[in-house]
Amino acid sequence: MSTLELLGFGSTGWGALLLVAAGVTLAVTAVALLIGAVLGAIVAAAKLSGNRVLVFLGSVYTTIFRGVPELLIIYLIYFGGSSAVTAIGQAMGYEGFLGLPSFAAGALAVGIISGSYQAEVFRGAYLAVARGELEAASAIGMSRGLRFRRIIMPQVLRYALPGFGNVWQLSLKDSALISVTGLAELMRTSQVAAGSTRQYFLFFIVGGALYLILTSLSDQVFNRAERRANRSMPSAMGQV
Amino acid sequence: MDIEFLSSTMVTLLKALPVTLALFALSVSIGCVLALVIVWMRVGGNRYLAGFAKGYIFVFRGSPLLIQMFLVFYGLAQFDFIRNGPLWPLLREPFVCAVLSLALCTAGYSAEIFRGGIRSVPPREIEAARAIGMSGFLLVRRIIAPIALRFALPAYSTEVVLMMKSTSLASLVTVWEVTGVAQRLISHTYRTMEVFLCAAIIYLVLNFIVLQAMALLEHFLSRHLRAAPPAAKA
Amino acid sequence: KEWKTVTITLEGAYAPWNMTNPDGTLGGFEPELAKVLCERAKVECKLVASDWDGMIPALNAGKFDIIMDALSITDERKQVIDFTIPYAATPAAFATTKDNALANAAGTGTEVRMDVGQTGVKEVDALKEAFKGKTIGIQAATVYAKFIYDNFGDTATVREYKTGADRDIDLQNGRIDLGFDDSVYFQSAFDAAKGELAFTGPQIVGPIWGAGEGLGVRKSDTDLRDMFSAAIKSALEDGTVKTLSEKWFKTDVSPK
Amino acid sequence: MPEVPRLSVRDIRKSFGAHEVLRGISLEARDGDVISVLGASGSGKSTFLRCINLLEVADSGEVWVDGEQIRMVQKGGRNRPASQKQVDHIRAELGMVFQSFNLWSHMTILQNVIEGPVHVLKRPRAECVEEAHALLKKVGIGDKANAYPAHLSGGQQQRAAIARALAMKPKLMLFDEPTSALDPELVGEVLRVMRALAEEGTTMLVVTHEMGFARNVSNRVAFMREGLVDSMGSPQEMFGAGASPAFRQFIGHFQA
Amino acid sequence: MPEVPRLSVRDIRKSFGAHEVLRGISLEARDGDVISVLGASGSGKSTFLRCINLLEVADSGEVWVDGEQIRMVQKGGRNRPASQKQVDHIRAELGMVFQSFNLWSHMTILQNVIEGPVHVLKRPRAECVEEAHALLKKVGIGDKANAYPAHLSGGQQQRAAIARALAMKPKLMLFDEPTSALDPELVGEVLRVMRALAEEGTTMLVVTHEMGFARNVSNRVAFMREGLVDSMGSPQEMFGAGASPAFRQFIGHFQA
Ligand SMILES: Nc1ncnc2c1ncn2[C@@H]1O[C@H](COP(=O)(O)OP(=O)(O)OP(=O)(O)O)[C@@H](O)[C@H]1O
Ligand SMILES: Nc1ncnc2c1ncn2[C@@H]1O[C@H](COP(=O)(O)OP(=O)(O)OP(=O)(O)O)[C@@H](O)[C@H]1O
Ligand SMILES: [Mg+2]
Ligand SMILES: [Mg+2]
């Protein structure tokens, strides 16, 4: 069969299946990133709070979820989570097995991991905000929350954007590990296609190319955001 | 808890630790140097070099390491000119290929992280350096790099830890490091959780050490942001 | 518990045992056999694809009820799950590239029968002499790996791959000299390699490879195991397995 | 019943490490008071202002605003404000113009000015925008409303900072060298604005090096020296014959 | 043969977007010249200084230092210096004190001061440290050598910035409001240092709002208005009867 046929959208081509898989990857990653953003912000705030207990808890979170291989966390949440749900079900009189859907378990696992990365990105960006500007905010009586929302957040986003883009990339690729839950995302579908047709290079290259397409789409979003966030900055770097 | 099984698993896994450490140390140091070169191309002002660096970062950040490693190890060897070329004795070795693809990948990520750090350097301080005649490498070495490093460190320590975990992919190319050995053990024993738990502890300890070292460095580089130490009379 | 619907899992990427069609449906030897078995066991069957690495833990976590994925019946696996009687048993053999000096080693085209743990077989020792100092690629954690270590470990270099496919590519690329694996698997790999690879040396058959490939079920589901064992028995007896096997493997893999 | 002072500071002390910057400062300001704070560089003037609105927390001493004491607690061996809410609420009534401006770099000048009124005081946006434009015009940068701080000259930034503080309509203003980056023409301009404020009854503490301002606009002059108030009095007293020798030396350079 | 001017600027123009900030400025400075640059806030004084050492690249016009023209090329529709090397070498001979100090936040004051001599001029470190201590003492912050900029008062930072520029021993100094954050006592101090420099033959361009300096220390006064040199002359001429009406209005506020 020719390469074109293999990748086509007809009944003999893998095109449609791969595109759907790319969509699943995108969706899982986006949900995971949202979960991670919330967790990351909370953990970063804890680590910056100066409260000894909170700092410790924050450090435990970032150390464990950055330090333990992703695959283990996915296993824990997918299988462990299922056992927990089953136990609860049986306690309530339900016979047999219950489980977390693969999508939910995968998004949750990748989200928890990405939260630990995002916490560090946010923390680094917070430290880059000029102290004087924070003081100016305090001086007009901005409450902690307001100061955070009006002065810190916009600037943290500006400084965090490159790192945030990195985390997005990471999560995009961590989502490939969800394949152990049987979710038909891009990585698994490429491997299935490769194994079913024995065209390993073709489908790995096509899979890689699809990841690159996802990347370039998201890069465009991030570039636009960066340009917007930096319009108030003088550009000393570009000069002599 | 089957203590005997856990301890024998631990012993088996620890035997693979040197491989993991070697992969890690080599790929992080090579990757870091490569990243510096790439970020220099990226922000240096030459349009073609910047374009190349952008493309490099795009490809190596944008695709899964698993695929990159597969293509480096199995893909390159498909070409006759590589198999007959002078580098074949090196590229033939699985370990070399594993280090190579790990380093290429982390270089893409690190370059982007370093660029973020550079963006955080206050433009006024760069200006002051230009005004006394600094430029090029001197400016980078004395002013931009130290400040940028401080800002990039949290993200970079994350990347370093990621590399520790990424070494686990090397078993794909027949380099049997800790995770690979763990997976092999699982397919003998089917005690997934127990074996993975042992592996997790090993990685956690390694990464804890790495993160502590990075935190120490960060603390050291933040002197100027902290309040004056008590009784610091010169 | 009444079995009305049963969920069967397979990888969907292990042609020709089981594979995925471009339209997303599953095809191959096992899906077709599964259909027959389910009819005979009088249950509704649902086929789902899942990843090989998580398959056994997922079975025990209740994600599905049966594994049908060329799963060899081994003592190690019996510790954690239960098996039906085998529905297939396949020989194993060495493969190398066509133009290699090791091609057509002594005994090519013949069969050698071996028992569990057996070493010192005459034909194998002849190969050992011929393969001295060469590199043999095997798939990690398989019965074949143990055989190679036992018989060739001291004279040849052994390299373990995560998948057979990776090993096949390296064999073609020349990083290794020989591969050793399930010969049914090899046969279909040869087709994909456009005739660059070929068997060398005798086919090794017999109990050394265990009882063959069976369905994996949870230990608690003895009723399910017995239902499907009966179904397999009848499918073997009336030649259904043989027909399907010849259709997909071009040879009969039914256990003898 | 005696009038409650707008601001009352009692025996404030503050050290950075081993360096004792403020060594017991007390000061009282009533409605409409304009107090010039003079002193050599490094004498602690900025630190003093920063202690009043708690940007720096004094090691000991009391701050009272409108008869309300800012409550402090000892925590972890350090003095800290007891209630963040009280601090926020008091700060909203204190305006501050920083020596280094501290404009928010991610906002345009207009956004800088309306930020406090809209988000802290929760006043209607349209109204605030209108007032902001008027204020910016008053300090002579009406055309820079939509520029970002990084694109402004030093003097323009300083005037934006003044406009930002005025927009909060505080009862008490703390100015830290509000005219340092201004040319004589603008100094006159800004001093006129401040005089108008004083006449409307706004209380002001002004750190300045402008002797003209100290002498002609303020009704009291405090001279700080090495973390203490060396002397204090009406301009007539301070610039007259009764001044302390240290102050006379300090202003001597100005009159020469 | 006429003397080569230390600095010669010819018809410099610079726009930010649609806003033309410099509209054709020319100026010449000979050895030992001390030129005060006066002008309203926003008139382009800082931009003018920044164009001289190419921190801002002028859209057109020429800059000559010691008879050597800074070569420019048109690239991508923008004017750019042709040789980075030439720019670096000329900058090392031009000292600059910024309006906003721009100290390096990650270095102590001492490190800030020796940075240029050690790393740009490649002079021996010990010698530079010794000189730096002497300089810091001269500007009155000898005790702050090991402090970081963030821990210094405004006036102390400004003096550190002056010391940093002086440490390069430049032939031509560009000062952007070098005394804005200083009290009268220190203003006198710093002006004395500058006068001594002038007597040693250092050429200076000083943007300032200190009329005292303009009148008593400088030998020429340039008045900028809306991106042009409105008028220029000796202090006697400028502060005498022959001054332009605009300048008279500008300083009117000072004398009032
Ligand atoms: N990077 C920039 N982008 C846009 N406009 C700028 C930029 N820098 C300066 N300007 C504008 O150019 C004009 C001149 O600025 P400049 O800093 O030269 O003034 P100045 O004479 O030094 O004033 P001051 O006495 O207040 O420091 C101002 O109107 C300013 O808003
Ligand atoms: N965060 C800090 N850490 C350590 N020392 C500090 C800090 N802030 C200020 N100081 C020191 O405290 C002293 C007083 O500083 P302050 O800023 O109050 O002076 P100032 O009177 O405002 O001077 P200026 O007129 O120069 O602005 C200075 O010697 C300064 O070095
Ligand atoms: Mg001050
Ligand atoms: Mg200026």
> Would you say the CB of residue D151 lies under 6 angstroms from ligand 1?
yes
Query: Rg (Cα) of chain A, in Å, rounded?
Result: 22
pLDDT of residue A97: 65
Q: How far is CA C239 from CA C229, C244, E69, in A?
A: 15, 9, 98
* Cα–Cα distance measured from residue A66 to residue A68, given in angstroms and rounded to the nearest whole number: 6
Token pair 């013949």 is found at C110
Using DSSP bridges, classify how beta strands D34-39 and D220-225 pair: parallel, antiparallel or unpaired. Answer: parallel
Give chains near D: 3+ CB pairs under 8 A. A, B, E
Average pLDDT over residues A114-141: 81
Best mutation target among B66, B71, B74, B185 (most C Cβ atoms within 10 Å) is B74
Using DSSP, state whether E14 is helix, strand or coil. Answer: strand
pLDDT in tens, chain C (256 residues): 678 889 999 988 887 888 888 888 888 999 999 999 999 989 999 998 888 877 888 888 888 899 999 888 888 888 889 999 999 988 899 999 888 888 888 788 888 888 877 777 888 888 888 888 899 999 887 888 888 988 888 899 999 988 888 888 888 888 899 999 988 888 888 887 777 888 888 988 888 888 889 999 999 999 999 999 999 999 999 989 999 998 888 888 888 7
Contact state of B71 with A204 under an 8 Å Cβ cutoff: yes
Contact state of E102 with B136 under an 8 Å Cβ cutoff: no
Chains C and D: 3 or more CB pairs within 8 Å of each other: no
**What is the DSSP annotation of C14-73?**
ETTTEEE-TTS-EESHHHHHHHHHHHHHT-EEEEEE--GGGHHHHHHTTS-SEE-SS-B-
Average pLDDT over residues E208-215: 85
Can you read off the two tokens belonging to residue D70?
């800012």
Query: Measured in whole angstroms, how far is the alpha carbon of residue B179 from the centre of its chain?
Result: 18
The answer to whether residues E98 and E152 touch, using CB atoms and an 8 Å cutoff, is no
**B234 inside 8 A of chain D by CB:** no
User: How is chain B split into domains, by residue range?
Assistant: 3-223
Q: Is the confidence at residue B56, as pLDDT, over 80?
A: yes
Average pLDDT over residues A91-115: 81
The H or E element that residue D130 is part of is helix D125-138
| CB contact set of B209 (below 8 Å; sequence gap of 6+) | none
pLDDT of residue A11: 67
Chain A positions in Cβ-Cβ contact with residue E81 (cut-off 8 Å)? 240
Contact state of A79 with C188 under an 8 Å Cβ cutoff: no
From C13, C14, C10, C9, select the one nearest C181 (Cα to Cα). Answer: C14
pLDDT of residue A239: 45
Can you read off the two tokens belonging to residue D200?
């409307």
Q: Is the confidence at residue E253, as pLDDT, over 60?
A: no
Centre of ligand 2 to C-alpha D206, Å, is 17
From C53, C54, C34, select the one nearest C44 (Cα to Cα). Answer: C34
Centre of ligand 2 to C-alpha E190, Å, is 19
User: How is chain A split into domains, by residue range?
Assistant: 35-184
* Cα–Cα distance measured from residue A17 to residue D211, given in angstroms and rounded to the nearest whole number: 80
Distance from CA of B231 to the nearest CA of A (A): 23
Average pLDDT over residues E85-96: 87
Centre of ligand 4 to C-alpha E225, Å, is 13
* Cα–Cα distance measured from residue E80 to residue E61, given in angstroms and rounded to the nearest whole number: 12
Residue nearest to atom 3 of ligand 2 (CA): E151
Residue nearest to atom 22 of ligand 2 (CA): D46
Residue nearest to atom 26 of ligand 1 (CA): D155
Best mutation target among C139, C162, C170, C172 (most B Cβ atoms within 10 Å) is C162
Can you read off the two tokens belonging to residue B230?
């008590």
Can you read off the two tokens belonging to residue C93?
């053999």
- Exposed/middle/buried for residue B50 (C-beta within 10 Å: 0-12, 13-18, 19+): middle
Chain D positions in Cβ-Cβ contact with residue A130 (cut-off 8 Å)? 102, 105
**What secondary structure letter does DSSP report for D132?**
H
- The per-residue pLDDT of chain D, averaged, comes to 87
A26 confidence band (pLDDT: 50, 70, 90):
very high
Question: For residue B213, is it left (φ>0), alpha (ψ between -120 and 50) or beta?
Answer: alpha
pLDDT of residue B232: 34
- The per-residue pLDDT of chain A, averaged, comes to 82
Q: What's the pLDDT tens digit per position in B10-52?
A: 999 999 999 999 999 999 999 999 999 999 899 877 889 999 9
Q: Which of E152, E159, E183 to mutate to test the pocket of ligand 2 (most atoms within 8 A of CB)?
A: E152
- The per-residue pLDDT of chain E, averaged, comes to 87
Sign of CA dihedral A128, A133, A138, A142: negative
ipTM: 0.78
Spell out the alpha helix ranges (H) of chain A: 3-7, 15-48, 52-67, 70-75, 81-91, 102-128, 131-139, 144-147, 153-174, 186-197, 200-229
Could you tell me how many CB contacts below 8 A there are between chain A and chain B? 143
| CB contact set of C44 (below 8 Å; sequence gap of 6+) | C4, C5, C6, C38
**B130 inside 8 A of chain A by CB:** yes
Name the CATH architecture for the domain at A35-184: Orthogonal Bundle (1.10)
Q: How far is CA E80 from CA A139, C175, D213, E67, in A?
A: 43, 55, 46, 20
CB-based burial, C202-215: b 16+ in 10 Å, e otherwise: bbbbeebbbebbbb
* Cα–Cα distance measured from residue D66 to residue D86, given in angstroms and rounded to the nearest whole number: 13
Best mutation target among C8, C21, C51 (most A Cβ atoms within 10 Å) is C51
Q: What's the pLDDT tens digit per position in D147-177?
A: 988 888 888 998 999 999 999 888 899 999 8
Q: Is the confidence at residue D254, as pLDDT, over 60?
A: no
B3-223 has which fold?
MetI-like fold (1.10.3720)
Residue nearest to atom 28 of ligand 2 (CA): D42
Average pLDDT over residues E235-250: 84
Q: What's the pLDDT tens digit per position in D39-62?
A: 988 899 999 998 998 888 899 999
Average pLDDT over residues E195-213: 86
- Exposed/middle/buried for residue C128 (C-beta within 10 Å: 0-12, 13-18, 19+): middle
A98 confidence band (pLDDT: 50, 70, 90):
low
D255 confidence band (pLDDT: 50, 70, 90):
very low
D156 CA: nearest ligand 1 atom: 26
The answer to whether residues D183 and E223 touch, using CB atoms and an 8 Å cutoff, is no
pLDDT top residue among C226 and D3: C226
pLDDT of residue E256: 39
* Cα–Cα distance measured from residue C234 to residue E248, given in angstroms and rounded to the nearest whole number: 115
Percent of chain B with pLDDT over 70: 95
B226 confidence band (pLDDT: 50, 70, 90):
low
From D230, D185, D224, select the one nearest D206 (Cα to Cα). Answer: D224
Amino acid type, E84: Q
ω into C16 cis (within 30 of 0): yes
* Cα–Cα distance measured from residue E36 to residue E40, given in angstroms and rounded to the nearest whole number: 13
Q: Which of E46, E48, E51, E55 to mutate to test the pocket of ligand 1 (most atoms within 8 A of CB)?
A: E46
Centre of ligand 2 to C-alpha D16, Å, is 9
> Would you say the CB of residue E44 lies under 6 angstroms from ligand 1?
yes
B229 confidence band (pLDDT: 50, 70, 90):
very low
Q: Which of E148, E153, E156, E186 to mutate to test the pocket of ligand 2 (most atoms within 8 A of CB)?
A: E153
> Would you say the CB of residue D155 lies under 6 angstroms from ligand 1?
yes
| CB contact set of A212 (below 8 Å; sequence gap of 6+) | B58, B59, B62, B63
pLDDT top residue among D75 and A36: A36
Q: What's the pLDDT tens digit per position in E100-130?
A: 888 888 889 999 999 889 988 889 999 999 9
| CB contact set of B166 (below 8 Å; sequence gap of 6+) | B65, B102, B105, B106
E39 CA: nearest ligand 1 atom: 21
Q: Give a three-class secondary structure readout of A67-80.
A: HCCHHHHHHHHHHH
* Cα–Cα distance measured from residue E223 to residue C103, given in angstroms and rounded to the nearest whole number: 95
Sign of CA dihedral B65, B69, B70, B75: positive
Residues with CB under 6 Å of ligand 2 are: B 227-228; D 16, 19, 21, 39, 41-47, 99; E 151-156, 181
**What secondary structure letter does DSSP report for E40?**
-
**pTM for the full model?**
0.81
Chain A positions in Cβ-Cβ contact with residue C63 (cut-off 8 Å)? 82, 97, 99, 182
* Cα–Cα distance measured from residue A21 to residue A24, given in angstroms and rounded to the nearest whole number: 5
pLDDT top residue among A160 and D71: D71
Contact state of E250 with D185 under an 8 Å Cβ cutoff: yes
Contact state of A240 with E150 under an 8 Å Cβ cutoff: no
Residues β-bridged to residue D63: D9
* Cα–Cα distance measured from residue B191 to residue C95, given in angstroms and rounded to the nearest whole number: 33
**B203 inside 8 A of chain A by CB:** yes
Amino acid type, C160: E
Spell out the alpha helix ranges (H) of chain B: 3-15, 17-43, 47-62, 65-70, 80-83, 88-91, 94-119, 123-131, 136-139, 145-166, 178-189, 192-221
